[in-house]
Amino acid sequence: MTLTLNGEDRLFYGDPMTPLVDVLRDTALLTGAKAVCREGFCGACTVHIDGVPTPSCLKPVGLVVGCDITSIEGLGIEDDGMTPLQQAFEDHDVVQCGMCFPGMVMTLTPFLRDNPEPTREAIKHALVGNICRCTGYERIIDAVLSMQSTGEISA
Amino acid sequence: MKPPAKRQLHIASSLDDALVMRKSLGPSAEYFAGGTWIMRADLRQEFDDRHYIAVGGLEDLAGVAVHQDEIVIGAAVTHGALAGAIEGLPDLAALSSAAQKSANPAIRQMATVGGNLCTRAFAAADLVPALLCLSADVEIALGTELTRMPLAQFLAGRDGFSGLLVRVIVPRQRRLSAHARLPLKKAGDYPVAIVSVSVMLDTAGLIRNAIVAVGAVEDTARRWPGLEAQLVGRRLDADEIAAIAADHADEFSGREGVEAPGWYRVKVLPELVRRAFADLPADKCGG
Amino acid sequence: MNEQIKHPAVMNLARRDARDKLRGLTQYTIDHVKPGTLNAFLLRSEVASARILRIDISKARKMPGVRGIATAEDAPGFFGIGIADHPLFAKDVIRYDGEPIAAIAAETLEQAKAAAAAIELELAPMPALLTMAEALGDGAPLIHEDWKSYEVLLEGAARGGNIAWEAKVVRGNTDAAFARPDVTIVDSCFTVGRQNHVPFEPRAVVATFEDGRYHIKTSTQVPWTVRNVTARALGVPASQIRVTVPPVGGAFGLKFDCSLEPFAAILARKTGRPVALINSRREEMLTCLCRENAEIRIRSAVTPEGEIVGREATVLMDCGAYGGEQIFLTTMTAHTLGGNYKLGSVRLSSRAVYTNTAPNGAFRACNGVYNTFALERHTDEICAAIGMHPMEFRRRNVLGDGDLGSTGQVFEGEVLRPMLEKMDRLRGASPRFERLEDRRLFGRATTVGTWFIFVGPSAATVNLNADGSATLITSGVEIGSGTMTQSLPQIVAAQLGISPHEVIVKGADTDAAGFDLGVGGGRTTVSIGAASTAASEEVRRKVLEAASELLQTGVEELVLGGGRVEIRGKKGSGMTIAAVASHIQKTEGPVSGSGSFTNPGVDAMAGCAMGHFIDAIDIPVFAVHDCEVAVDPDTGHVEVLSYRVVQDVGRALNPRAIHSQIQGGVVQGMGYALHEDMSVGPDGRILQSGFETYRLPLALDVVPVEIELHEGAPSIGPLGTKGAGEVPILNVGATIACAVSRAIGKPVHSLPLTPPRVLGLIIDEARPLDLPHISRTWSDNTISNSRI
């Protein structure tokens, strides 16, 4: 199977029923997506499939042939850079264990592109599929809201 | 300990191809649309070998066609796509709400209408009661035939159903509708009880008839005939109607679950009825 | 405190590992499974209690891809805390659903699972005791038939039958207190379920066997415990084992024990290949070392003026099939359920009870969380009984300077009363919710909690490099709270006069740093911080002495700062620290300092505490929490409208990081109080096997916590600091339970307060909970010497 992964065509020779998250982690060695729950509840395995945030634990790799798959590693800027959303998280020192953050970034990036001035409530609704066990969320939301005042919303 | 299941993926090229595959692969074959239920088989400790026939990309199952007198929804349409297609259509508010609030944002982009209706073991499906209260029909392919039937009839025959759900047809009527769901947290967990209602009002603004569908309380969603009968001729007063619902809640026997006991699902029904009726737009008095 | 001059160690230093975490580049243990690593899988019991008649692995050995299988024969040693009751594999007897029976390493995980399924097992089912009441019942079968023969690792406790361990406190004469004619006696019972840590990274290990030694790379809080327990389990010298720790994706206490590591170690040696063993989420749900379920009876004799002249309590702690952490935690009842308030006389019995269920363990503030719930609800019931305002009662009775704790230790400093005052002001400054716009019932409560810093041995070395940077070597692990990346480099940097960005923090490696009790319980900042301070002080002395010679100036006239040694008052004078370090390196050798720390020990009253690992706490930590709730009378849903915390931190080294810990800890507490239900099914298996049924708080379920940090309470920690990461969860169950109880006007005796439970309380008649298997006669709930 030919997969388009972060803009590159890659060949995968395994079982088409393999969840995409395992192909990313074990074959492509892109370990940013984490298989935390394998149920679609936690959001830690979120990738973009044709731009749509998707839980990669529930997607058989055989069904994403021909799709554009973007993982957290493919989201960034070259040369050690970060997106404005990632920068906001770093500036506000909100990261703790870090396992949930790739998924948070993958969910919030298209959300903020489509909703440049969200309310606190709207952000919380957008994060219904992203669990964090460490931070208690509010400071993550603060960091996102801070982007509005700096005009840095576009991811 | 059971050995790991052998699961094979087959991608159907057309509706006919899917039906042929199902016939040749036999009872260990299942249709795979969004896959959000199927991909959790290991977690449910289901280790039987399976053939999955992927139908999510079939044209026959795609798209939402909005007509004046009905909408036609392909079975492979996702909750998110459905919500987008019918946003702002007042008569379909229950369906809109159900499709917008189910599960979580990412799952809504993946889970399909067909999956929601066909997954026998998933009692908390949001779209089922919403479609019931809107008098939806389904079109199924069994063998070489396409058959149309009311959703309730389809639900009754779901056990052992081996056909393929192709589309859902929802009539457009001058009805008001609303969907009230009760997860145990604010959101993100499956509702323990669901009430979807649609009403037709007469020129005086009284209820001419009401369809009240209850989901998640029992194994399969169904209507609430005892309550419906009591509503004819009544005012659209949510508190009054909730009180009547309390008198008729024993029509249901709540299923026991790890997340909630049966008595609780039934006990909250009157409040959900109140919320649903309170949600019906008060300024719209159809005729 | 505003009056303090800002210490150079105090700053909101940002954590240095955030960038890689945000970009998905951080390599946690689960990411260390490189091609060529074997995948291991544990065959686990699917029944709660049985005798193993036969295991046959011959078919499994021949399955495709299988490279090695381990069973009980490969792990002869028993381990544990207090008593060594725990074999690595089920040995002859299965004691819980999920107990490991064999471990298989294969090329793929699927092959390992297929081989596990091919292992032939013949079992003879035995009765399973699934509740503590059953386990303590007359004639109950013994879950550990050979309990008498187990090696005792700490003397002085009572144990016997299905009681793994019993800790007792006796101070003063409670019989006399309860017999007084002027007292009101209040008796309350409480019951709580388990809580699962749900760290996003499950327990995971990658092990290799190289040059005759095991190298264990594991997601752990306790590298030295892993080393020592693995050695015991395998029956090999501990020096043969090296433990290193990659960044940890959450722990919260789950990883404060050795668990998967020995299995991987055995398989690495058998196969000669790297072996990865990672728990699935399902395994983490079903065999988590949870915060234990518990049952409590507490009764108090109180005068009309609100003086607590006598208190007796019994706590039953379910340790599951093996004693584990609960044995140690019996110690903490004295300081939590027996904490907060002045007591005229007190008797406490804290019993770790075996059941045929998955073993429990330590989770952020452990039994402090449910003991505080029980204590504060009981306190509210006392107030109702004697007609005193709950805040007035607390003001009169909270521990203050010179007051005695339950084991007779003398508390220092006036801490809780000023904290209560701060909470009053915090409350007064916020918007009030009391008039709700909808049908919901309003409630609010303020609670008090006592916890401790888990002080104990730590070691540190600081190398001052010739370029002026410093390397801090400890066995500390970064589990997410940030202390390894913030407090520690802040402390070392301030001591040495360099920037914290110049302090390299080496990841834990038992081959490099000395013994450490582990990360958790506030230890990183206090114990590892103290050892690091001592090590830095030694380096600082050496630098100042050398600089003094080089600059021909007395040491007292020199200051370290900004990477330089300068003469006091003469800006720009002196030289760089790098230059001093280079000089010393050339003339004497590389510069380093070492430090070591353990708890000095505080005295309890003689004869008060029996079977305790900690008789008196070196560093108490206090917390005052307040919340407002709205309860839906038709569905039982509880919404937390506001939440406030005043936390005793001693000294806030990184206030922003502490705020983050408090927000996170309170939310975990909200999960415990309202959503996270864990129950054992009739077959002895945990019913909540995933996130569908185990409900974690989401962004919509939480509120921003208003925080005030209370500084200045006495602490032996570096710069007067106390650890701040653990205690935020302590009072949350209590605060929400008290508020809900007031909202609905009914007693609350159980957590979590899920909607069905709350609705049940609302519609049913108020019925106090009674636990018949915990006697009202306190001494019935203890093992007297004559009975064993």
- Which pLDDT value is given to residue C5? 58
pLDDT at residue C456, as a whole number: 85
- One domain, residues B130 and B154: yes
Query: pLDDT (tens digit, 9 = 90+) per residue, C684-707?
Result: 999 999 999 999 999 999 999 999
Looking at the DSSP assignment, which residues form a beta bridge with residue C576?
C564
Name the pLDDT band for C434 (thresholds 50, 70, 90): confident
Q: Do A53 and B106 touch (CB under 8 A)?
A: yes
Percent of chain C scored above 70 by pLDDT? 99
Residue of chain C nearest A43, judged by CA positions: C200
Q: Is the pLDDT of residue C787 over 60?
A: no
Task: Say if residue C469's pLDDT is above 90.
Answer: yes
Distances (CA, A) of C394 to B237, C271, C298, C337, C342: 48, 62, 17, 15, 10
Residue C633 identity (one-letter amino acid)? P
C226-236: b or e for each residue (b if 16 or more CB lie within 10 Å)? bbbbbbbbbeb
Are residue B149 and residue B225 in the same domain, yes or no?
Answer: no
The pLDDT value given to residue A35:
98
Check whether residue B93 and residue B163 sit in a common domain: yes
The pLDDT, as a whole number, for residue C788 is 33
Q: What is the pLDDT of residue C417?
A: 97
| pLDDT number for residue C1 | 42
What is the 3-state secondary structure of B27-40? HHEEEECCCCCHHH
A-B C-beta contacts closer than 8 Å: 69
Percent of chain B clearing pLDDT 70 (strictly above): 98
pLDDT of residue B41 exceeding 60, the answer is yes
pLDDT attached to residue A155: 35
Q: Is residue C3 pLDDT above 70, yes or no?
A: no
> Stretch C142-157: mean pLDDT, rounded?
90
Strand order in the sheet with C100-106: C66-70, C100-106, C38-44, C275-278, C204-210, C213-218, C241-244
CATH 3.10.20.30 in chain A is located at 2-74
Pairing of strands C100-106, C66-70: antiparallel
- pLDDT class for C578, splitting at 50, 70, 90? very high
Predicted confidence (pLDDT) per residue in B146-156, tens digit: 999 999 999 99
- Give chain C positions within 8 Å (CB) of B261: 756
**pLDDT higher than threshold 70 for residue C258:** yes
Q: What pLDDT is recorded for position C482?
A: 86
pLDDT tier for residue C644 given thresholds of 50, 70 and 90: very high
**Distance of alpha carbon A88 from alpha carbon A152, whole angstroms:** 9
Q: Which chains touch B (3 or more CB pairs under 8 A)?
A: A, C
Average pLDDT, integer, range B254-275:
98
Q: Is B204 on the interface with A (CB under 8 A)?
A: no
Could you tell me if A96 lies within 8 Å of chain C, comparing CB atoms? yes
Judge: A107–B103 Cβ closer than 8 Å, yes or no: no
Nearest C-alpha in C relative to B257: C693
Looking at the fold, whether B148 and B191 belong to one and the same domain comes out as: no
Residues A39-80 have pLDDT tens digits of 999 999 999 999 999 999 999 999 999 999 999 999 977 777
The residues pairing with C451 across neighbouring beta strands, listed in sequence order, are C621
Is B285 part of any domain?
no
User: B9 in contact with A at a CB cutoff of 8 Å?
Assistant: yes
In this structure, the strands spanning C66-70 and C308-320 are unpaired
Last residue of a domain, one of B171, B206, B235: B171
Tell me whether residues C697 and B182 touch, CB distance under 8 A. no
pLDDT tens digit string along B71-101?
999 999 999 999 999 999 999 999 999 999 9
Is B119 a domain residue? yes
On whether both B188 and B262 belong to a single domain, the answer is yes
The count of domains in chain B is 2
| Predicted pLDDT of residue C767 | 83
Chain C: nearest CA to B260, how far in angstroms? 7
Average pLDDT over residues C490-496: 95
Under a CB-based contact definition with an 8 Å cutoff, are residues C321 and C162 in contact? no
Domains of chain C listed by start with CATH number: 32-126+203-278 (3.90.1170.50), 294-454+603-763 (3.30.365.10), 456-597 (3.30.365.10)
C-beta atoms of A133 and C24 within 8 A = no
- Residues B200, B118, single domain; the answer is no
Whether C692 and B189 lie within 8 Å, measured CB to CB? yes
Q: Would residue B28 count as lying in a domain?
A: no
Q: In the listed set B139, B171, B203, which residue is the last one of a domain according to the structure?
A: B171
Please give the pLDDT value at position C159: 93
Distances (CA, A) of B153 to B95, B122, B157: 19, 18, 6
In the prediction, which pLDDT does B150 show? 98
Mean of pLDDT values over C54-74: 98
Per-residue pLDDT tens for C518-570?
Answer: 998 888 888 999 999 999 999 999 999 999 999 999 999 999 999 999 999 99
* Contact A29/B at CB under 8 A: no
CB–CB contact B185 C675 (8 Å): yes
Residue at which a domain ends, from B149, B171, B193? B171
CB contacts of A90 in chain C (<8 Å) are 14, 18-19, 22
SS (H, E, C) C623-677: EEEEEEEEECCCCCCEEEEEEEEEEEEECCCCHHHHHHHHHHHHHHHHHHHHHCC
Question: pLDDT at position B287, please?
Answer: 35
Mean pLDDT across chain C: 95
Q: Which chain C residues have a beta carbon less than 8 Å from that of A96?
A: 250, 480-482, 660, 664
Task: Determine, for residues B54 and A62 on separate chains, whether the beta-carbon distance falls below 8 Å.
Answer: yes
Q: Looking at the structure, tell me whether residues B111 and B183 fall in a common domain.
A: no
- Looking up residue B130, the CATH number of its domain turns out to be 3.30.465.10
Which sign, positive or negative, has the C-alpha torsion A81, A86, A87, A93? negative
Confidence tier at A153 by pLDDT (50, 70, 90):
very low
Question: Is the distance from CB of C577 to CB of C560 less than 8 angstroms?
Answer: yes
Please compute the mean of the pLDDT values over residues C52-62 and round it to a whole number. 98
pLDDT above 80: residue C248: yes
Contact C33, C110 (CB under 8 A): no
Yes or no: say if C358 and C98 are a contact pair by the CB < 8 Å rule.
Answer: yes
C12-25: average pLDDT: 95
Token pair, residue C228, equals 């020592």
Burial of C342 (0-12, 13-18, 19+ CB in 10 A): middle
- Does the pLDDT at position C2 exceed 60? no
The 10 Å CB-count burial string (b at 16+, else e) for C88-106 is bbbbebbbbbbbbbbbbbb
Tell me the fold of A2-74. Answer: Ubiquitin-like (UB roll) (3.10.20)
pLDDT at C213 over 80: yes
Cis peptide before C752 (omega within 30 of 0): yes
Could you tell me if B86 and B148 lie in one domain?
yes
Residue B254 lies in a domain: yes
- Residue C330 predicted with pLDDT over 80: yes
Taking 50 as the threshold, does the pLDDT of residue C4 lie above it? no
Residues B187 and B154 in one domain: no
User: B-chain residues within 8 Å CB-CB of C43?
Assistant: 1
In a domain, B88, yes or no: yes
Taking a C-beta distance cutoff of 8 angstroms, is the pair C641, C736 a contact? Answer: no
Instruction: Give the orientation angle of helix C390-397 with respect to helix C366-386, to 10 degrees.
Output: 120
**pTM metric for this prediction:** 0.96
Report the residue from A97, A127, A136 with minimal CB separation from C248. Answer: A97
Q: What is the pLDDT of residue A151?
A: 53
Q: Is residue B265 part of a domain?
A: yes
Q: Which domain holds residue B158?
A: 61-171
Asked if pLDDT for residue C343 goes beyond 60, the answer is yes
At residue C522, the pLDDT reads 80
Is A133 close to C33, i.e. CB distance below 8 A?
no
pLDDT score at B283: 57
Determine, yes or no, domain membership for B99.
yes
Tell me: the pLDDT tens digits for B130-184? 999 999 999 999 888 899 999 999 999 998 888 999 999 999 999 999 999 999 9
What average pLDDT does range A95-103 have in this prediction? 97
pLDDT-derived band at C401, boundaries 50, 70, 90: very high
What number does CATH give the domain A84-149?
1.10.150.120
ipTM: 0.97
pLDDT at residue number A44 = 98
